[in-house]
Structures are given as structure tokens and as C-alpha cells.
Amino acid sequence: MKTESAGALEQLIARAATVLRRARHVCVLTGAGISAESGIPTFRDALTGLWSKFRPEELATLEAFERDPQLVWQWYEWRRDLVRQAQPNAGHRALAELARRVPRLTLVTQNVDGLHQRAGSPAVLEYHGNILRDRCMLEQVVADRSEDSRHGVPRCSACGGLLRPDVVWFGEAIPREAMLLAAAAADDCDAFLSIGTSSLVYPAAGLAEVALQRRVPVIEVNPNPTDLSAAADLVLQGPAGTILPLLLEQLAHPPG
Ligand code: APR
């Protein structure tokens, strides 16, 4: 691992920019950290205050939903309000811009907040779904709410079935297309960026491992060390909203 001592961060960013400048296909994986500066609590942080007496398994599993759909929906409506109020930050915007600066970029996100799309990133692969969509439990398709859904548990306007948030709960499979396209990108890329993720949750964390096995340069952006840090080629220690604009700046205007 090559972490920065004081003053060396700029040099590491310059090296990361060189990697990106040479890249034909950049694969980016983002996690909750990139939305932290937009005021969206990470999954674990979201279980505070009102919800502190619950464990994630009591709210984000199919079993929890089947046991008490109203409780699970209350929690998701609370989180949805946070997401709706949030705005993309400088980190999201820098990644949208990066996609325009390199020949090819695949952006895979574990976040369910849609902020990459709102910042202008094209073709985002939503590994864990999207909290703002509803999915019909019966038809297993994205669905609209019926008219009488305002009170209690929302129901499908087409078939009357229970609706659930269109996110991946604990123990559930990753959406097939996102999984296949992300795996193909990890297998094809010649630079890998891991941003704002603890690299603890699989299969997402396995994408960086594929890149490492292929000896592709792996760059991490995170204020804290993670499970990936020791193996990463470059660790840019700091908040994504600061580091990514600096990286973009270096990419556009290399010194000397
Ligand atoms: N910029 C970049 N990284 C940050 C910032 C920031 N401003 N602030 C915090 N971080 C880092 C933390 O240091 C941590 O490593 O973001 C990471 C967040 O880690 P997690 O909360 O574990 O989020 P994530 O890796 O996305 O979790 C993966 O787990 O809870 C499930 O399904 C949920 O998608 C989520 C998955």
C-alpha cells in the first residue's frame, strides 16, 4: 500500500491521473461514502434516532417485510425523504465529467440514491437497486402505486399486489444485468477506481479483486483505510468531494 504522508497527496493524485490518462476502459465502483457529503447517512448510520432500536436484518430482509410490511415501509419512506432532499455533490459531478474525458467508463454503484444519475453520469449500473422505485411482489416488475396506496402499505396499480422498494435486501441476488455488465467491466478495464466503499460487502467488493488479479492498477479514494487499502496500488486518502475534482483537474492540466 502507498498511502500519502503530508504533502504527498498531490503527487499520488498526479500518478492516479497518469493511470487514467493511459486507460482505455475505466471501471469505477462507488459506495455510501460518495453520498456522505450530500448528507445521506450510510446504511448503518441510517439506523440512528427513531430507528436505533432496530438491526438492519429487522428492516432490510424479505423475512422482515413479510412479517411487518408497514414497519419496513415506514423506514424506507423516511430514507426516501432524505434521498429526495439530497443534491449530488462535487464527487458525483466529477465522476460524470470523468466519463466524458476517458474513452470508456463503466460506473457501478452500490448506492440506491440515484445521485450519480442526477449528476449526469450515463448508464449507471445499480448493483443494489434504487430506493425511489417500487417493485410488485407478485409480478416482480417495477410498478406504479394504486390510487388507494396513500395510507398503509402501497399496492400495485396493475394487479393489487403488495409493493416493495426496488432494492437488494440481505441475502438477495444482485440484479442480473447489473451483475453481468459489472463483471465484464472488471474483466476488461485497464484502471479500477474504488470510491467511498468499505469493500466489505460481496459480491461488489469482489470486482476490485478481479482487477487486482489481472494486475490492473487499482486506485482507492476514501478518508479511512479499508479492506482493499493494503492491496490497492494508489490510496488517495480524503473525501471524494475533494479528491475527485483534484484528480479531474490533474487529468485536464498535467503539470509542466
Ligand atoms: N468520501 C469517500 N469515502 C467516504 C466518505 C467521503 N466523504 N465518508 C465516508 N467514506 C467511506 C467510509 O470510510 C467507508 O469506508 O465510505 C465507506 C462507507 O462504507 P459502508 O457504510 O460500508 O458503505 P458501502 O461500502 O457502500 O456498503 C456496501 O452494504 O449496507 C450494505 O447494501 C448496503 O450498499 C451497501 C453495502
Sequence-ordered alpha helix ranges (H) in 45-189: 62-67, 69-85, 90-101, 115-119, 176-188
Give the SS3 label for residue 168.
Answer: coil
Asked, as a colleague might, if the bond just before 225 is cis with ω within 30 of 0, I would say no
- Percentage of the chain lying above the pLDDT 70 cut: 94
pLDDT per position as a tens digit, 146-170: 987 777 799 999 999 999 999 999 9
The pLDDT, as a whole number, for residue 57 is: 74
Rounded to the nearest 10°, the torsion over CA 145, 150, 152, 157 is -20
Under the banding of pLDDT at 50, 70 and 90, the label for residue 6 is low
Query: Pocket residues for ligand 1 (CB within 6 Å)?
Result: 31-34, 36-37, 42-44, 110, 128, 196-198, 200-201, 221-224, 226, 239-241
Measured distance CA(80)–CA(250) in Å, rounded = 36
pTM for this structure?
Answer: 0.94
Return the residue whose CA atom lies nearest to atom 7 of ligand 1: 239
Under the banding of pLDDT at 50, 70 and 90, the label for residue 62 is very high
Q: Comparing 7 with 217, which gets the higher pLDDT?
A: 217
Which positions ≥6 away from 77 have C-beta within 8 Å?
none
pLDDT per position as a tens digit, 22-56: 999 999 999 999 999 999 987 666 666 667 778 87
pLDDT per position as a tens digit, 87-127: 999 999 999 999 999 999 999 999 999 999 999 999 999 99
Pairing between β-strand 129-136 and β-strand 125-126 as defined by DSSP bridges: unpaired
| Residue 34 and residue 91 in contact, taking contact as beta carbons nearer than 8 Å | yes
> CA nearest 121: which of 103, 109, 134, 133?
109
pLDDT per position as a tens digit, 167-193: 999 999 999 999 999 999 999 999 999
> CA nearest 237: which of 254, 225, 247, 227?
225
Is residue 253 annotated as part of the catalytic site, yes or no? Answer: no
Return the residue whose CA atom lies nearest to atom 13 of ligand 1: 224
The pLDDT, as a whole number, for residue 132 is: 97
The pLDDT, as a whole number, for residue 4 is: 47
